[in-house]
Amino acid sequence: MKIHIRAFARFREDFGERTDLTVPDACTLPDALRELTALKGHPETLFDDDGAVKDFVLVMVGGERLAPEDRHARLLAEGDEIVIYPPVSGG
């Protein structure tokens, strides 16, 4: 199935603005992000030493922000758009 990943802020430097991927059916969010890092490099940007998506990485799927505890089991569907961005700060 085809999915789309968009990266913002400093993540855009590592992964580009938009990447279209073909992934297997029953692909989870972490699996898709592993595919992204296999293609573009920089796995340390998104994953901790245990292979989990880092808590500070903000992730949305289909316009819904996912809490860190919900990411590992999130199954993707054909055409899903994943958005990743680092924490935003400012004043």
At 86 the pLDDT is 94
Structure tokens at 72: 């590992």
Flag whether 24 is in a domain: yes
The domain spanning residue 12 has which CATH number?
Answer: 3.10.20.30
- Supply the DSSP symbol for 88: P
Cβ-in-10-Å burial (0-12, 13-18, 19+) of 27 comes to: buried
Overall number of domains in the chain: 1
Structure tokens at 24: 């297997």
Q: Is the model's pLDDT at 13 over the cut of 60?
A: yes
Distances (CA, A) of 75 to 3, 16, 48, 62: 12, 23, 20, 12
The reported pLDDT for the residue numbered 89 is 66
Q: Is the pLDDT of residue 91 over 60?
A: no
pLDDT at 90 over 70: no
Q: Where are the alpha helices (DSSP H) in the chain?
A: 10-15, 29-40, 43-46, 68-71
The 10s digit of each residue's pLDDT in 40-78 is 999 999 999 999 999 999 999 999 999 999 999 999 999
pLDDT value at position 10?
A: 93
